[in-house]
Every structure is written in structure tokens, then in C-alpha cells.
Structure 1
Amino acid sequence: MDDIRLVLYRWVGRHGLDANQHAQLLREAGLGQEPAGLQQRLIQGLAVLAAALAAFGLLMWLAANWDDLGRFGRFALLQGLVLLLALAAWLLPRLRAALGLALFLVLGGLFAYFGQTYQTGADPWQLFALWAALGLPLGLALRSDVLLAPWVLVLMAAIALWWQAEAPSIRLFNSHLPAQIRGLQLLHWALLAVPLAFLGRPLRRWTGAGIWSWRLALLLAVGQLSVSALLLLFGGDETVLFSLALLLLAGATFGLARPAHIEIFGLSVLALALNVLLLAGLGRWLLEDHRVEPIASFALLTLVGAGLLSLSVKGLLAAARRQRESEQKLGAAA
């Protein structure tokens, strides 16, 4: 819409149109009207926000009256809310996504209270994994990013907590890294790919996932992979695994840069991660054993960082241009 508006402004200036003609031109182009579906989307957004705040408020009210309710009262209240929200989501199709989100949040509160009450000894990641597993059928039934995006957050939290529990020895500047950590690290990265594949384009006809839940999964996966790669580089001297992380990010960048699968948001996230890891690897090599004087090293890192940023921006602009040209060709063909 911004490109069309700029073209119209140039047209007005070129032909010397007055204010009335300018306003008529904007009306004919549809720029002076409310975007189609804005009111409906605004109502849906407010309903989702209200459901999330209501569920959070109920959990906070339960916490505030913790001593007055008793164990049976707490369980009865949480389980009753789960049943009530499930029934309401079934009976009210227009509010199904918002009520499903509230149900998912209350379900998490129920699991948290169960773990706190009975002290099962389970690790935190197991509770998050159970929450994600039991919330998945609800997400598949609703087929909406309103629920699938929070589900991604819970699942990625479970993966991160599992990695923290299974590989606590990876710390910065710790050169003694157990050999079994390598296998766990590969498993960690494989688990990060699961939600990306599940919410990806090939399965969307079955999952009902939208682009934003996939983008959130990509952001969290790239973040976890990048942090673990940095810890391996500076905490365990694992240059092989660090190089593998770079290759994985480069492969994902190549996949999203193909003309049929251009995704600017994903490419931006991957470009940022690649820049950070490349600069970290170069900095480790330069500063290790004082191969280069510190001042010269920092100057070189600054120049390389500026060059990588310039190349990233240039590549993203080229990808955006190819995407726009592809969309224009599809529109002309239609």
C-alpha cells in the first residue's frame, strides 16, 4: 500500500492536481477507506487478549487465596475451569480460539499446581513437555495460531529446560567437556527441528498452522542453536560442532532464499545468527594465544562486522525484490 501511495503522490505532482482531485484519486485507489476486515480482526484480537488476561487473572486470584481454598478447593476450581472453558469453546464457535487459549493457559496452571502439591520429583522440563503434549490435540482441533503460537513457546521451553538438565557441564570458559555431550547436543538440535517441520508448509493443511507460529518456532530454534553453539565454542572448544551449527544455519538460509520459499522474516533471523556466530568464531581465533594484537583484532572485527551487515542487508533487499516480482507475476497470471 505504501508503494501505491507514493506512486499516486508522484502522479499528483506531475499533473498538478488540486486537493479535491487528489482526494478523489485516493478514494478511487481505496486508500481513504478502512482496510477490509479490520473491524473483525480487531474484535478477534481483543477477544484473544481478554481471554489471556482473564485466564491469567484467575490463576493470580487462586494464588492470592491459596490458604483459604484448601487442596480440594484448588483442584476443584482449576479442573472446573478446564471443563467450563472446554464446554464454552465447543458451544461458541466465534469465540473458540480465544476460549481455547484460556483453556490452554489454565491447563498449564493445573499442571503447575499438581507438581507443586505432590512434589513428584519430575524435572521442570517434564511438566512443560506434558503441557505441550496434552495441549497439542487442542491446537490441532482449533487450527489457529492463537493457540499454536503459545504451544510453540511451551514446547521450546521444554526443550531448553531438558538441555539445561541433561548438559549442565557446558559453561563459558570451561575447557573440560564430557564426550557424551556431543551426542546430546546433536539430539538437542534435532529436537529444535521438530516444531519447524510440524508447523511447516507441507503439513499446514492438516495442522492449520499459520505463518506466525512457524516464525516463532524458527526464532526460538535459531536462538537456542546459536546460544548452544557459542557455549560450545567458548566453553568446550568444540570447533567441529560449532562449524556444524554454521552449516545448519547456512543450509536453512539457502532453503528460505529459494524463489518458491522466500521468507524475509526467517532470512533476517538467520542472517543475524550467522553474523553473530561468524564474528564470535573470528574473535575466538584472533584473540586466542594473542595471534594478533588486541587493538588490531578489535579493528578487524569491526570491519568484518560492518561488511557482514552490509552483505546481509543487500541479500535481504534482493530477496524482498525477488519475492515482490514473483507476487506480481502470480497476480498478473491470475
Structure 2
Amino acid sequence: MQPTDPSDRAPLLELIERGALSPEQIPAALELTGLYPDRLRWRHFIEQLLLWLGALALVFSLLFFIAYNWDNLGRFAKFAMVEVFVAASVAGYCKWQRHPVLGKLSLCMASIGLGILLALFGQTYQTGADPWQLFFNWALLILPWTLLARFPSLWIVWLVLLNLSAILYFKTFRNTFSFLFHSDLALIWILFFFNAIALACWEVLAKTLAWLRTAWATRIIAVAAGVAATCLAFYGIFERDANVIIHFAAWLVYVAALLGYYRYQRPDLFMLAGACLSVIAVVIALMTDNLFSTLDDGSGLLLIALTIIGLSTAAAMWLRKVHKELDL
């Protein structure tokens, strides 16, 4: 089922809000304008859904089969099963590389199968490698396939693997950057810079590469960077020994860039709503830190609750205004 351009819905929604269409006429209007999915679009959606679910079922069935029969299978049988699966997936890409879905799906299956192979190797031979090395090597090995596939889903998998690698690395070597930051703070900075740079590169490349123009992928990266930026602001608020200016500067720059770009350059209500949520969270954190240190009764909680209601209402009104102005 192909997504409908949000701008196509705006005229019809305006007619409904003005009462130009009666409730009985709305279904017919949806069908005439093509906004209501017909049988062919539903069939296409179900075919794609079943195709992806079937591919994921094959991958995880291989993983669970090996795990369940671990003691009954020899090491060569285990490796042979996974290697044949990866080879078959690569062969599927070679056969269906011109197909809009099957070729990319085959490379996704091969990439996940390669991760299973790395985990199997580490578990069988007990190499003593740290967990972060598994995910980092996994990301490194599937990078050529990721470049070849030109598929946003596989790029998101690659970015997730690198994020996991960084998190697990700092759990293993907590004092790597102790001369600059506290270990947990260094991890937040790394995740913030990495995901913010990834988001900026994605948006720049999407202007020339049409296959990168998928809203859900950029939103996932923006959420990851936004969570890290908000955590930096929280750290500057609640940690007395923190450099408040640096932490707030990083958060403000990210939020301002998010609001500016996705309001005027490429409007996206999801991004704007995420920025508003981050602002509300930081304001409430500031109030919590200051009020609880000065007020001993419940008046502070009441003031915080009223502030949350007020800020949420103001954000909703502003987003609704933007929605109407831009016909999103």
C-alpha cells in the first residue's frame, strides 16, 4: 500500500472541517480522491508485509534451530548451515538484484546471517573477544553490502550496530577518555556527535540520492541524537561539577538546528514535535532542580504540573498552526 502525500489530504480535510461534506459523503470522497486504499493497494501492502515477515522468519528460525540443537549438532554442521544460508542470500541478490525488493531483502538476510556466523564463531571457539568487537566487526563486514544495496533499512541496521559497539565499548573500557570526561558523559558525547553527524550527512545526501528520502529513517536517527542531546542538558542541570555552558550549548545548537531545518527547509511535524518535547523536558528538569532545593511542601509539584500542562498546550497549538500553514 503506497503512502499518500500528506499535501493531497489537505483540501479534503479543509472541506470536511468547513462542513461542505456530509458524513455520508466522506467515504465516497475518499475513494474518488484516491486517499482510501483500494484492493490493489491493499494487496501490494499485504504482499510486501508477508515477504518481509517471511524473510525474518527464515533468519530467526536458523538462529533458534542452532540454539535449540546446540548439543546435538557438530561444529561443522552449525557452520555449514549458517554459511550456506549466507551464500544462498548472496546468490538471491545476484539473481534478483534488479527487483525493487527481493534483491535488497536478500542482502538484509545475508547481513543478519553474517552476524549469526560471527556469534557462532565466538561461542564455539571462545576467542575471549569483548562483546563490542562482535558488533563492530559485524558493522565493518556488512559495510560493502550496505553500500551496494542502497537500502535505508540496511543503513539503519549499520548505524544501530555502531551505536551498540560504542555503548558496549564504554562498558568494557570505562576510563578510556577519563582525562577529558567522566566515562558515562564521554559515551553520551560520542553518541550525540555520531548520530548528529549521521543525520546531517543523511539529509545532505538525500538531496541527490532519491532512495534516501525516507522519513522514518531520518526520524530514527534524529531521535537517537535528540535523546543524547537531552541527556547532555540533564547532566549539566543535575551534576554540580559539570560545565553547564558546554552541555547547554550542545543541546541548544541541536534543538535550534532541528527547529530551523524542519520548519523552513524540509517541514516535518514529527521532528518539530520531538524538539518541543526535548525543550519541555529540559525546562521541567530545570524547575525540578531549583524548586525542590527551595520548597519543602507540595507547591513545587503543583507548579511543575501546571508548567507541563501549559508548555504541552502551547506546543500543540504551535504544531497545529504549522500544520495548517504548510498543509502537512
The TM-score by the shorter chain falls in which range? 0.7 to 0.9
Counterpart residue number, 2:63? 59
1:191 to 187, 190, 194: 194
* Greater percentage in helix: 1
Counterpart residue number, 1:284? 289
Q: Is 2:132 aligned against 1:125?
A: yes
Q: Percent identity?
A: 25
Does the CA-based 8 Å contact 1:267-1:316 persist in structure 2? yes
1:44-123 paired onto structure 2 within 5 Å: 44-93=48-97, 94=99, 95-123=102-130
What displacement does 1:313 show?
1.4
Counterpart residue number, 2:268? 263
| Structure-2 change in CA distance of 1:317 and 1:145 (3 Å) | same
Once residues 83 and 50 of structure 2 are traced to their aligned partners in structure 1, the CA distance between those partners, rounded to angstroms, is 26
Counterpart residue type for residue 97 of structure 1: K
Counterpart residue number, 1:4? 12
Counterpart residue number, 2:4? none
Counterpart residue type for residue 181 of structure 2: Q
TM-score, structure 1 length as denominator?
0.78
The more displaced of 116-125 and 131-140 is 116-125
Q: In angstroms, what is the RMSD of aligned CA positions?
A: 3.4
| Structure-2 change in CA distance of 1:294 and 1:240 (3 Å) | farther
Once residues 198 and 64 of structure 1 are traced to their aligned partners in structure 2, the CA distance between those partners, rounded to angstroms, is 42
**Which runs of 5 or more residues in structure 2 are unaligned?**
1-8
Counterpart residue type for residue 45 of structure 1: L
Once residues 229 and 168 of structure 1 are traced to their aligned partners in structure 2, the CA distance between those partners, rounded to angstroms, is 22
Once residues 205 and 28 of structure 1 are traced to their aligned partners in structure 2, the CA distance between those partners, rounded to angstroms, is 34
| Structure-2 change in CA distance of 1:236 and 1:166 (3 Å) | farther
Does the CA-based 8 Å contact 1:259-1:322 persist in structure 2? no
The more displaced of 219-228 and 200-209 is 200-209
What displacement does 1:26 show?
5.9
Give a deviation string over 1:47-102, Cα, whole Å, max 9, x none.
11211121011111111111122222222221221111111122024311222222
The more displaced of 214-223 and 31-40 is 31-40
Does the CA-based 8 Å contact 2:189-2:232 persist in structure 1? no
1:321 to 288, 300, 324: 324
What displacement does 1:214 show?
1.6
| Structure-2 change in CA distance of 1:187 and 1:135 (3 Å) | same
The more displaced of 308-317 and 22-31 is 22-31
Counterpart residue number, 2:3? none
**Which runs of 5 or more residues in structure 1 are unaligned?**
170-176, 328-334
| Structure-2 change in CA distance of 1:66 and 1:3 (3 Å) | farther
What displacement does 1:12 show?
4.7
Counterpart secondary structure, 1:66: coil
Does the CA-based 8 Å contact 1:156-1:221 persist in structure 2? no
Q: How many residues align?
A: 312
